[in-house]
Amino acid sequence: MTIDRRSLLFDLTRAEVLATGHVLPEPARCVQCGICSYNCPIGLDVRAYAWRGEAISDSHCLTCGQCVARCPRGVLIFAPMANGKS
């Protein structure tokens, strides 16, 4: 069996994000297609955060990475939180 390097990296990133990070958009890439919001399992309006260029601050966010993985434009990344601020 070959290990999928991408998904392994992704899982490792996620574990770290669960502890210290959040989802951060780069609005200059976003085309407001809504795929992120559509795939968020808890129905957060990720697209609206992406428009405003704000990190997803909702405490319900599972950092499951669905939005990150599905955005066709690479708008969303997991990023460490600055000094525990959200």
Partner 1 sequence: MAAEYVIVGSGVAGIAAAEALRARAPGASITVITEDPNGFYSRPGLAYYLGGAIPEKQLFPRSHAELRALGLRWVQAQATKIDVAGHRVNLADGRSLAYDKLLIATGARAAAPDFPGGDLDGVFTLDTLADAKRLIHKANKSGHAVVVGGGITALELAEGLHACGVNVHYLLRGARYWSNVLDAEESQLVEDHLRDDGIEIHYHARIHQAEGKKGRLIAVQTDSGERIPCQILAVAIGTRPNLDLARTAGVKIDRGILTDSCLRTSAPDILAAGDVAQVHDDITGRASLDTLWPTARAHGVAAAATMTGAPTPYRRTAAMNVTLLADIPTTIIGALGSGSDEDMVAIARGDSESWRAAAPTWVVVEHHEVNRVRIMLGDRTITGALVMGDQTLSRPLHRLIAAEADISPIRDALLADDHAVLQLIASFSAEWERSHADNS
Compose the 29-48 pattern: x for residues touching partner 1 by CB under 8 A, - for all others: xxxxxxx-xx--------xx
Is 55 a binding residue for ligand SF4 by CB under 6 A? The answer is no
In this structure, how many other beta carbons lie within 10 angstroms of the beta carbon of residue 42? 10
Is 18 a binding residue for ligand SF4 by CB under 6 A? The answer is no
Residue of 69, 76, 73 lying closest to 33 (CA atoms): 73
Is 17 a binding residue for ligand SF4 by CB under 6 A? The answer is no
Contacts with partner 1 by CB under 8 A lie at 6, 26-35, 37-38, 47-48, 51, 72-75
Contacts with ligand SF4 by CB under 6 A lie at 23, 25, 30-36, 40-42, 44, 46-47, 50, 56, 61-67, 71, 73, 75-76
